[in-house]
């Protein structure tokens, strides 16, 4: 029987072998735990001269994530490209139906492939892990595959838990970093994406997190979900739901929405996808 430690060791060896076979690589680096681990693994396998990171700059990336990505890449001594992406120019992205992530990832790869060519790098890699491959509806993975992106973590069989375990062993500060999906993931399907809408969501999350910390409430996972005419729904660590629901003064900092409620189920990664399961198809776009 293979022990968990032996399995992780084998998968890390497979990852290293895969990365070495690439010769050089541009890592699509969002700053999250998966892409950060992949970037470090690539540097360990190939050396910093044969690795670069690219962080797409757009209205959907929270400013704090961009700052953290810059600092992390600098610590590794790799070239860090910050190309602008124009997903807002794609009608399918703005429409925000269930396949929004397809158009986002298509735009990302259409921008990164020329960057890799300019830098003389042979491949573009994403941080898709083995869990992502079986997580159900993931149109973004399909868009990346269509454009030839490689997925070293997925190919080595590394799960999210294993990525975090290895990151901790390697001393990476991202080993326990909370999930940080793009701002568009906060907007209910069928509600049109716009820079102003994303900015409102980001401002609400920053204000609420700051208010919670000032009140002595340490929060890990926090989302402000934009439900359009139905207002905003706040998802927070399940253990903190009661504390937040009892503090209307804290909820008052979430501004710009017709109403604000606290989700009694707490934070759930990808909770907007529940709408797809219930609705059975792409929703109609509303303003």
Q: Could you tell me the CATH number of the domain that includes residue 131?
A: 3.40.50.620
pTM (two decimals): 0.90
What is the structure's pLDDT at 277?
54
What is the structure's pLDDT at 3?
74
Beta strands 51-54 and 79-81: pairing type? parallel
Looking at the structure of the chain, the number of domains it has is 2
Per the rule left: phi > 0, alpha: psi between -120 and 50, beta: everything else, 270 is left
Residue 287 lies in a domain: no
User: Hunting for tokens 């920053």 — which residue is that?
Assistant: 206
The CATH number for 207's domain is 3.30.300
For residues 165 and 187, membership in a common domain is answered with no
For residues 115 and 198, membership in a common domain is answered with no
Work out whether the CA dihedral 129, 87, 197, 212 comes out positive or negative. Answer: positive
Percentage of the chain surpassing pLDDT 90? 84
Out of 68-82, 154-168, 179-193, which region has the weakest mean confidence (pLDDT)? 179-193
For residues 139 and 200, membership in a common domain is answered with no
Are the C-beta atoms of 15 and 152 separated by less than 8 Å? Answer: yes
Domain that holds residue 111: 4-169
DSSP 239: G
What is the structure's pLDDT at 280?
47
Residue 15 lies in a domain: yes
Residue 177 lies in a domain: no
Residue 208 lies in a domain: yes
Q: What are the tens digits of pLDDT across the range 212-231?
A: 999 999 999 999 999 999 99
Out of 13-27, 144-158, 265-279, which region has the weakest mean confidence (pLDDT)? 265-279
For residues 147 and 265, membership in a common domain is answered with no
Are the C-beta atoms of 149 and 109 separated by less than 8 Å? Answer: yes
pLDDT at residue 178 tops 50: yes
Residue 59 lies in a domain: yes
For residues 89 and 164, membership in a common domain is answered with yes
In this structure, how many other beta carbons lie within 10 angstroms of the beta carbon of residue 259?
A: 12
Last residue of a domain, one of 169, 193, 209: 169
Residue 56 lies in a domain: yes
Residue 178 lies in a domain: no
pLDDT at residue 281 tops 50: no
For residues 25 and 87, membership in a common domain is answered with yes
Beta strands 79-81 and 123-125: pairing type? unpaired
What is the structure's pLDDT at 257?
96
Q: What are the tens digits of pLDDT across the range 237-274?
A: 999 999 999 999 999 999 999 999 999 999 987 776 76
- Mean pLDDT over 14-34 rounds to 97
What values do phi and psi take at 51, rounded to 5? -135, 140
Rg for the chain, CA atoms, rounded = 19
Residue 176 lies in a domain: no
Last residue of a domain, one of 169, 194, 221: 169
Last residue of a domain, one of 169, 200, 215: 169
For residues 165 and 188, membership in a common domain is answered with no
For residues 121 and 228, membership in a common domain is answered with no
Are the C-beta atoms of 146 and 173 separated by less than 8 Å? Answer: no
């Amino acid at each position: 029987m293979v022990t968990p430690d032996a399995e992780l060791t084998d998968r890390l060896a497979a990852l290293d072998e895969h990365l070495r076979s690439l010769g050089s690589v541009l890592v699509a680096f969002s700053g999250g735990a998966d892409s950060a681990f992949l970037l470090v693994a690539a540097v360990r396998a190939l050396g910093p001269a044969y690795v670069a990171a690219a962080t797409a700059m757009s209205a959907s990336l929270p400013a704090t994530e961009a700052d953290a990505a810059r600092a992390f890449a600098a610590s590794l001594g790799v070239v860090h490209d910050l190309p602008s992406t124009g997903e807002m120019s794609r009608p399918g992205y703005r429409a925000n139906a269930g396949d929004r992530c397809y158009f986002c990832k298509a735009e990302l790869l259409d921008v990164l492939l020329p960057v890799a060519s300019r830098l003389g790098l042979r491949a573009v890699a994403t941080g898709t892990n083995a869990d992502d491959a079986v997580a159900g509806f993931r149109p973004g993975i399909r868009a990346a595959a269509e454009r030839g992106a490689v997925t070293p973590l997925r190919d080595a069989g590394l799960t999210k838990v294993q990525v975090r375990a290895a990151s901790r062993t390697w001393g990476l500060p991202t080993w326990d970093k909370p999930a940080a999906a793009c701002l568009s993931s906060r907007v209910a399907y069928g509600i049109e994406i716009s820079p102003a809408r994303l900015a409102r969501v980001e401002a609400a999350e920053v204000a609420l997190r700051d208010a919670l910390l000032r009140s002595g409430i340490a929060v890990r996972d926090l989302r402000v979900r934009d439900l359009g005419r139905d207002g905003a729904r706040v998802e927070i660590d399940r253990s903190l739901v009661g504390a937040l629901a009892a503090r209307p003064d804290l909820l008052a900092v979430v501004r710009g929405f017709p109403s604000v409620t606290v989700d009694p189920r707490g934070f759930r990664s990808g909770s907007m996808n529940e709408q797809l399961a219930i609705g059975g198809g792409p929703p109609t776009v509303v303003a």
